[in-house]
A = this chain, B = another copy of it.
Amino acid sequence: MFQKIKPKKISDEVYEQIKSIILSGKLKPGERLPPERDLAVEMGVSRTSLREAIQKLEAQGFLYQVQGGGTFVKTITNGILDSAIEEFVKRDEAIFDLMEIRKILETWGAHTAAIRATAEEIDTMSRYLDEMREAKEKGQIGHISDANFHFAISYGTHNVMLIHLMKNLFYWIEKVSYEVRSRMYTNPESHEALFRQHTDIFNAISARDPERAYDAMLVHMHYIVGELKRIYKKK
């Protein structure tokens, strides 16, 4: 019947505000919060109160801090994949299961982003695509822009759960197949093919063509899995 009276403590209000920003998806996993000093000023509270709120959020698994580095948003889906990975005797055997899940989520993501993404979000995708082109022309790897491009697509779905899951998935794929994946970029043909695929995906999304976006992403995923299989066979 009656509602509980709100928190009176300032640190609690700070806590609630940051929490809801994360849950609503305005702050995305892996993103960095403003420095404590700045954020405290922005919210009109002391650094002490802000830090107490952050401690709580950290204890709950929303944030983590690194001295000198900053304060970052954690994936709320932490621990789900972790327990699954442990079932594999050799960790890198998990890569194909992981890639299969990725294929499912990313194809849907591309399809849905073509429908739901805002102009701004599509703009972000194009920025990362440009970064990849520049990296390729300079002979650099550009795998960070690659990952960011895919994240940008997941943002376009507006499904907060999916955004966190994707981040989590990428973390493990990266961890499990780091050296293998970097080999893909060292081959110029491979690098060129990847860029072409990324361009196709972007064009389809930007043209608001869900089916084409889906297909383009599927081609991309199949290509990566094919390369992975090829490289693992050699070993």
* A105 cross-chain contacts in B, Cβ below 8 A: 101, 104
- Report yes or no: B164 in contact with A80, Cβ–Cβ below 8 A: yes
Nearest Cβ distance between residue A203 and chain B, in whole angstroms?
A: 23
* A62 cross-chain contacts in B, Cβ below 8 A: 84, 87
Q: Is the CB of A162 closer than 8 A to any CB of chain B?
A: yes
**A11-B55, A94-B161, A165-B80 in contact; A87/B60 too (CB < 8 A)?**
yes
* A108 cross-chain contacts in B, Cβ below 8 A: 104
- Report yes or no: B59 in contact with A165, Cβ–Cβ below 8 A: no
- A97-119 residues with Cβ-Cβ distance < 8 A to B are 97-98, 100-101, 104-105, 108
* A104 cross-chain contacts in B, Cβ below 8 A: 104-105, 108
- Report yes or no: B74 in contact with A84, Cβ–Cβ below 8 A: yes
Nearest Cβ distance between residue A210 and chain B, in whole angstroms?
A: 14
Query: Which residue in chain B gives the minimum CB-CB distance to A91?
Result: B23
- Report yes or no: B80 in contact with A168, Cβ–Cβ below 8 A: yes
Instruction: Describe A's contact surface by its main secondary structure.
Output: helix
* A77 cross-chain contacts in B, Cβ below 8 A: 85
How many chain A residues sit at the interface, stated as a range, is 35 or more
As a 0/1 sequence over residues 175 to 186 of chain A, the CB contacts with chain B under 8 angstroms (1 = contact) are 000000000000
Q: Is the CB of A43 closer than 8 A to any CB of chain B?
A: no
- Report yes or no: B162 in contact with A100, Cβ–Cβ below 8 A: yes
**A11-B55, A164-B81 in contact; A76/B97 too (CB < 8 A)?**
no
- Report yes or no: B52 in contact with A161, Cβ–Cβ below 8 A: no
As a 0/1 sequence over residues 72 to 83 of chain A, the CB contacts with chain B under 8 angstroms (1 = contact) are 001011101111
7 interchain residue pairs of minimum CB distance: A84-B164, A61-B84, A59-B59, A97-B161, A56-B59, A55-B55, A76-B84
